[in-house]
Amino acid sequence: MKLPEIIYSAYSLARSGWMLRGIPSSLAETVAEHSYAAALIAAEVAQRVGADPYEAALIALVHDLAETKVGDIAKVAGIPEAKKVAEEAALASLGVSSLIKSLIMEFNEGRGPEAVVAKASDLAATIIISRYYERMGFNVKEIEETSRTELEALASSSGLGERLLNALRELGVI
């Protein structure tokens, strides 16, 4: 895929977890919207925990690019290994630089504080939009709770721990 096709796909690809919860595709957050939110959160959080905000934001911005080729495979599908294999194959064939590919691999492997911040921001962005959908009357509480649990586990297993959670609290995310 060439860059314009990747961008078009990210703009139009609705995240499947929302649609599985009854949110119409016209209202469902797209991969591009999610990545933008995650990048903005990552820049803010990284500054507060002493990580590089530019790298953390860029990792968060590109972390789901493989989905533009394979689609957004929701966690409830229960096929994490197949998803990983499909996304790795897609990543190899995407028309992006080795820098972008290495940042995505850094995210997937959780290497370094910037990748941890990006992963936390990915989860935080999901928490934010789930609250929005809840206010609209959609039953997505389970997604918010699961994301919060994953976020707390990530924080406790990383070297950032409570600083990471405190930064997200300061921002009003959790």
> What does the angle CA 73 – CA 20 – CA 156 come to, to the nearest 5 degrees?
60
Domain map (residue ranges) of the chain: 3-170
pLDDT of res. 85: 76
pLDDT of res. 81: 78
Tokens 């409570």 sit on residue: 162
pLDDT of res. 69: 85
Residue 23: partners with Cβ closer than 8 Å, 6 or more residues away: 133, 138, 140
CATH fold of 3-170: Hypothetical protein af1432 (1.10.3210)
- Residue numbers of the chain with a pLDDT score lower than 50: none
Amino acid letter for position 84: K
Please write the tens of the pLDDT for every residue from 86-106.
777 788 888 899 999 999 999
pLDDT of res. 73: 64
